[in-house]
A and B are shown apart, each in its own frame.
Chain A
Amino acid sequence: MTAATHENSSAAAAAPTAARRSDTAAPRKVRGREHRSLGSSIALHGTLIVATVIAAFPVLWILFISLGPKNAWQDPGQVLKNLSFHNYSDVLSHSDLPKWFLNTVIVAGGTTALGVFLAATAGYAVSRMRFPGSRQLMWTFLVTQMFPSIVLIVPLYLLMSELNLLDNYLGLILAYATTAVPFCAWMMKGYFDTIPKEIDEAGRVDGLTPFGTFWRLIVPLARPGLAVTAFYSFLTAWGEVAYATQFMQSDHYTLAVGIRTFAQDQRPDWAWTSATAIIITIPAALVFLLVQRSLVAGLTAGGTKS
């Protein structure tokens, strides 16, 4: 079997080679899934290495540029000779970045709290009970995903201006709730579906009220799901551009808007932009990598079981 595959290994460029090869070896025993020849190993690892380089390169590149001198982006060769954290200390001490950071933390924190509370209660109700309106509610959650922010942004803008909520943390938090809540409720429903219903019943037998069951038994069990929901709401607020651009004035800029004052269309300051980008990315990426496994489980569970 190995001999046959070696001939093909030079032609091995991508994954499907494994499939093609077995055609030539059809009469013999079909290759098992757990065995791999040298040729297909090389093809497999080669493809994955190329893919990981493409995936990681832009991120590493902006990190690389951020460590160089002011005009490093025009002449990347200089970076290695002049490695420093100069751009970082510059942008932290000479710009409004700390203020934007604080604004973003406030808005993202608020969105998280609101998103988790609303999504958990709604998700639980939809998961556990078939009540009149539950299907319509799930449908509304899905439809809300289809709202281009533009449908809502103008009316919300005018609504908020009437309520004096423009340039206000609460206004932006509420605006983000429109995107975060339906999706989070969708995810939480998927997560609650994985918790056996017998637990609810046991709680009821023991004399807990319905809310008592939810609060004392289900919420603790759903903590991983809640963490994912929290993080998703947080990320939504952390990375949103359109609402933040229109709703907030310079004192209340979030990071997503603030960084644009460096990366202007005409004369972008890439030294500051790249350093800011890394400062914004690191906390988000760290938490993301911690929760990503459950994030995906939540996403697909919500989708496939509806």
Chain B
Amino acid sequence: MTTAASTENTDQPAPGKNAARPPRVSALRRSWDKYWYAWAMVTPVAIVLAVLVLYPLGYGFYQSLTDANESNVSATIGAFHRPATYKFVGLDNYWHVLSGADSDFYPRLLWTVIWTVVGVSLMVGLGMGLAVLLNRKMRLRGLYRALLILPWAVPSFISVFAWRLMLNSQYGVFNEIITAFGLPAQDWLGTPLAQKVAVIMVNVWVGIPFNMVAILGGLQSIPKELYEASEMDGASPWQRFVNVTLPGLRPVTNTIILLGCIWTFNMFNIIYLLLGNNTSGDADILVTFAFRKAFTGVSDYAGAATYGIIILALLLAFSTFYRRNTLKSEQA
């Protein structure tokens, strides 16, 4: 069979890249025969990533080293073409941001971290709670499940509009509900602290279903025998949860925590659409702040690019660190 496959392969034109690479281990021989078409199959995706992701990323990085803004980039207005006049300024933008000279970065970073940590903990925690509850035989289980997934089925910008309507300080139903429970009414979309609570709340509401359903899937993949064995040993439900469920869920929770942190750190829709343009900016995270830098007033392309690269660097450092640690704990 192997020979049949390999003779067939030699009929096909093999890309030079593969032919040039010496086989490392003879056990890899069979997959070696398949390299050429593996490469052929990833070529489209590689082109798209290169043109639409890597090139703009490199371009963005270059821009962060310049003083480009709306008034000095090249532009075509009607028949008139204006050449670019921005100049290279080296690491000035980074120094300006990281030294704290622009006085926006550190407050925005602090709030972004709080927003991410609080949001992801609540999403994963509540998602896990609901998943554990749903993971048993009971009446109406399908109905509960369908309704609990509803926030995920709604496009997020629609959810945000629903919440904006509900959180309206004057006519919103949300204040009426919480005052009925004895809590004080707030100007949810007006004052800085209330805005922050509101955006976290909406983000958690939007994010729970994904976490819940992913954990539910993880729960169902834990072998029943483990529970039976621990029951035989006289473990209490809480002990079973800590010693069987949590370790069994680790592959899923590791993934969703990492994804949740990245998504939340970069969450644009909720803050931008919930608060609109007439906010003081206190609830802006790094991403929405950078967006406003790029597209309001005189667009500060270099400044926005600098923020973008810093955000990316922060997330890369975090993910590398996180994956290294989770790999270690999985192997242990």
Contacts and interface: CB of A to CB of B under 8 A. Distances in A.
A300 B41 contact: no
B165 A65 contact: yes
Interface-central residue, A15, A56, A129, A134, by most chain B CB under 10 Å? A129
Interface string B229-247: 0010011111011000000
Q: Dominant SS at the B interface? A: helix
B214 interface: yes
Given A30-B236, A158-B73, A117 B155 contact: no
Interface stretch (A4-12, A86-94, A143-151, A220-228): A143-151
Interface in A50-77: 51-52, 54-56, 58-59, 61-62, 65, 73-76
A137 B42 contact: yes
B7 to A, nearest CB: 11
Interface string A171-202: 00011011001100100000000000000010
A3 interface: no
Nearest to B130: A51
B95 interface: no
A303 interface: yes
Contacts of B312: 146-148, 151
Contact of B161 (A143, A207, A235, A259): A259
Contacts of A260: 273
A56 B38 contact: no
B27 to A, nearest CB: 11
Contacts of B154: 59, 281, 284-285
B213 interface: yes
Nearest to A121: B41
Nearest to B159: A58
B217 interface: yes
Given A150-B290, A263-B164, A30 B238 contact: no
Nearest to A262: B161
Chain B interface bracket (under 10, 10 to 19, 20 to 34, 35 or more): 35 or more
Interface residues of A, number: 113
A58 B133 contact: no
Nearest to B132: A15
B21 A132 contact: yes
A81 interface: no
Q: What's the dominant secondary structure at chain A's contact region?
A: helix
A216 interface: no
B44 A117 contact: yes
B150 interface: yes
A125 B315 CA distance: 27
A150 B294 contact: yes
A23 interface: yes
A300 B144 contact: no
A125 B205 CA distance: 37
Given A44-B133, A55-B151, A289-B153, A151 B276 contact: no
A31 B57 contact: no
B153 A288 contact: yes
A45 B141 CA distance: 10
Nearest to B242: A19
Interface in B29-51: 31, 34-35, 37-39, 41-42, 44-46, 48-49
A106 interface: no
Interface stretch (B99-107, B113-121, B300-308): B300-308
Interface of B: 1, 4-5, 8-9, 12, 18, 21, 28, 31, 34-35, 37-39, 41-42, 44-46, 48-49, 52-53, 55-57, 59-60, 63, 73, 129-130, 132-134, 136-138, 140, 143-144, 146-159, 161-166, 168, 170-171, 173, 205, 208-210, 213-214, 216-218, 227, 231, 234-238, 240-241, 251-252, 255-256, 259, 262-263, 265-266, 268-269, 272-273, 276-278, 286-287, 290-291, 294-295, 301, 304-305, 307-309, 311-312, 315-316, 319
Closest A-B pairs by Cβ, 7 of them: A303-B255, A151-B308, A19-B238, A239-B155, A155-B56, A265-B276, A122-B45
23 contacts: A26-B236, A31-B237, A51-B148, A54-B205, A55-B150, A58-B166, A59-B162, A144-B53, A146-B266, A148-B265, A150-B290, A150-B294, A151-B312, A152-B53, A152-B56, A152-B60, A153-B294, A156-B56, A238-B155, A270-B165, A274-B161, A285-B150, A289-B149
